[in-house]
Amino acid sequence: MAENLLFLTGKLAEKSLKKVLDEVQSNPKTPPFKYRIQQIGVSVAALMTPDLIARRLKETGDADKIILPGLCQGDLAQLEAQYGVPVERGPADLKDLPQYFGHAGVAPDLSQYRVQIFAEIVDAPFLSVAGIIKKAQTYQAQGANVIDLGCLPAVPFPHLADAVKALKALNFQVSVDSLNTDDLLTAGYAGADFLLSLTENTLWVAHEVAATPILIPAKPHSLPSLYRAIEACLTAGKPFIADPILDPIHFGLTNSIVRYQKLRKKYPDIKIMMGIGNLTELTDADTTGINALLFGIISELDIHAVLATSVSPHAVNAVAEADIARRMMFAAKRDDRLPRGYSNGLLGLHDRRPFTYSADEINEIASLIKDPSFRIQISEAGLHVYNRDGIHENQDPFALYPHLKVDDDASHAFYLGVELARAQIAWQLKKRYVQDQELDWGVSTKAQDKTSKTAHREASIKEKVSKVLNKINEADIKLAQDLT
């Protein structure tokens, strides 16, 4: 049976909403549904509140569900109690309704993953135990499963055992990375879970301690050497992880990927690790794309673990990116789909759908505006600024300034300057722009910063709305950019 949906909206978005819903409804891939749109007497749908809706929406008819604009704030429980049907928010932009229906209103499941992330603290010998713990907590928050303590050649690490014990006391999984057998034995006796990296010549260390060895070739690029170490562990019944070593670009990258493929073909069931820092750290390119490609290969080869580093300034989010990439690739492989539509976390510089409105559509919206507040939108053509006095379009914010007439209002000029700068950056990079919202840089926009900024923005919007409601009738609210 087709679901009956009631969409609540404002005056400015009513026409666009109907057009989009008709397109969605006519798509044979969309689950069947019936809909009704109710415009509840405000100009901008984003400024609806549950209290306002409760006063103005007298009945829901035969609706099975009520859909509100995505940016509508407030607790929806009171509406569900009043009307006796589910109430939920749609997408922030009504042009995203096709995707909303395509996923039946449920975000892709990214809760699962297979790859374990070893996050290396490369400067561990120079840090105090407290400093090591602090960095470990940072990496854990970004998604790391194991904290790797990197040892450096000829650099003393007298507090190695203390660091391992302190991390274990806090329930961290710990690995220690060294070619020095004394370091590896110290770490193993202290309770380390993994030891990087043992060869066929140093494999005896693994029989002295309980830690799981990470095996590498005794000679660079020598798969036979790695095979011998693997066979020794299989014969002894010793758990292990094998790593043929990923080489940097122009120093054997392609051949090293082939080695991983050969290793997986020879041993279909063993656990394999890939150290991804040789690409993320040693390539001057955004690490989001590098991680996406690497984790695609990792997914195809069924690699179980990665060693990630976060040293270079451009690789500062490498661990967090690895976390997103492993979840996205797991979900795509599970669903037998291309890795598209699962997450925007690795789309730092661009968006798949940056321009949701054409210049003609923006002109049509601008013709409906009856108040002096400026709206800013972008299309493929450039930046658009409009209010009741007209619309102006340009690709250069400075060319728009003479039309704004805010020379005698410093705060308003500052606000418009900030928003036009954001709009210009979004237009140049082909990113999504929404007035009064910061640009979304994917994983590079820290979650905690998003939370605090969102809360501040919501408080600011509520304050503005409160002031306006004290001066004018609710039906004439025209201060927000959102058109849903």
Do both 91 and 144 map to the same domain? no
In this structure, of 295-309, 381-395, 426-440, 463-477, the range with the lowest mean pLDDT score is 463-477
Residue 484 lies in a domain: no
What does the pLDDT read at residue 474?
39
| Rounded Cα gap, residues 132 and 104, in angstroms | 44
Entry pTM: 0.78
The reply to whether 126 and 93 lie within a common domain is no
- Whether residues 320 and 227 share a domain: the answer is yes
Q: What domain count does the chain have? A: 3
The domain in which residue 331 lies consists of 116-335
* Position 396 in a domain: yes
Using the predicted structure, report yes or no on whether residue 484 has a pLDDT greater than 50.
no
Burial letters for 231-250: b for 16+ Cβ neighbours within 10 Å, e otherwise? Answer: ebbeeeeeebbbbbbbbeee
The pLDDT score that the predictor gives to residue 457 is 47
Percent share of the chain, pLDDT over 90: 70
Tell whether 386 and 318 lie within a shared domain.
no
When pLDDT is cut at 50, 70 and 90, the band that residue 92 belongs to is confident
Judgement on whether residues 430 and 472 belong to the same structural domain of the protein: yes
Decide if 111 is inside a domain: no
CATH code of residue 330 = 3.20.20.20
- Shared domain for 196 and 232, answered yes or no, is yes
Whether the bond between 197 and the residue before it is cis, its omega within 30 degrees of 0, is: yes
Measured CA to CA, the distance from residue 208 to residue 238 in angstroms comes to: 12
345 occurs within a structural domain: no
The residue among 68, 102, 136 that closes a domain is: 102
Spatial distance between the Cα atoms of 20 and 102, rounded to a whole number of angstroms: 14
pLDDT surpassing 80 at residue 29: no
Q: What is the mean pLDDT of the chain?
A: 89
pLDDT higher than threshold 80 for residue 177 = yes
| pLDDT given at position 41 | 84
Residue 467 has pLDDT above 80, yes or no: no
Asked if residue 125 is part of any domain, the answer here is yes
Q: Evaluate whether residue 150 is within a structural domain.
A: yes
- pLDDT value at residue 458: 45
Answer whether residue 182 shows pLDDT above 80.
Answer: yes
In terms of domains, do 246 and 303 share one?
A: yes
CATH number for the domain spanning 7: value is 3.40.50.11600
Clarify whether residues 140 and 252 are in a common domain.
Answer: yes
Residue at which a domain ends, from 75, 102, 129: 102
Residue 341's pLDDT is what? 83
pLDDT in tens, 190-226: 999 999 999 999 999 999 999 999 999 999 999 999 9
> Does residue 459 register a pLDDT over 60?
no
**Over 80: is that where the pLDDT of 479 sits?**
no
Let me know whether 77 and 132 are in one domain. Answer: no
Assess whether 217 and 298 both reside in one domain. yes
Looking at the structure, do residues 170 and 292 belong to the same domain, yes or no? yes
